[in-house]
Amino acid sequence: MDKLWPTLLILVVVALVFVGMWAGWRRIRRRDAVLVVPSALQSQGDTIVAVSALHVATTRHDQPLDRVAVPGLAFRATARVTVSTGGVTVAAPGEPVVAIDAASIVGGGTATWTIDRSVEQGGLVLVAWRARRTDGDEQVLDTYLRVAEPGQQRALLDGIHSLADTDERLSTSGADDVAHDTTTGDEA
């Protein structure tokens, strides 16, 4: 009997933690339900680069701790990332394909951290892009990808930079290099 009450108390606390996590995730899903993520590019075009990468997270622009929960980008997953002249596609097994048209790409660069992940300097590839909202407005999102091979990471960055609106410069808290200078990996 001496062990019953502490055991029950621990079970209640654990249950409350899981209920809180579930309620928080539902709130995030409801908040992000206004974001429309296309599943096909308007025009595929020629492939520039295709790599296997870990989709680490997608967050609101310049808020690397504010995860966005949209279909295809809500969870961390290994994905096939393809950059073509028509845009960028992220295809994770079991998830809807996410297609970001070239006109929606705002910029790209490297980052060191985002929610749930911290890596070596410049170890994450950041893709900043505009998502359409159901009310007609747009919202800039940051998608973080982890590419294992440095050569593939550089090729992915070069492909993203070739699509980005070069008149627009970005500043992202978790980002190391989000300007469009493709010659260095130094901070912009």
164-179 per-position pLDDT tens digit: 865 444 444 455 544 3
Which single residue is written with the structure tokens 């520039």?
48
Environment class of residue 115 by beta-carbon count within 10 Å: exposed (0-12), middle (13-18) or buried (19+)? Answer: middle
Q: What is the pLDDT of residue 167?
A: 44
**What stretches in the chain show pLDDT beneath 50?**
167-173, 177-188
Q: What is the pLDDT of residue 174?
A: 53
Q: What is the pLDDT of residue 43?
A: 83
Domain residues of the chain, as ranges?
Answer: 4-32, 47-177
Can you name the CATH fold of 47-177?
A: PH-domain like (2.30.29)
From the list 100, 98, 114, the residue with the least C-alpha distance to 172 is: 114
Tokens of 66: 């504010």
Which single residue is written with the structure tokens 């310049």?
62
3 state SS of 183? coil
Which residue type occupies 41? L
pTM over 0.85: no
Distances (CA, A) of 3 to 7, 9, 12, 138: 6, 10, 14, 56
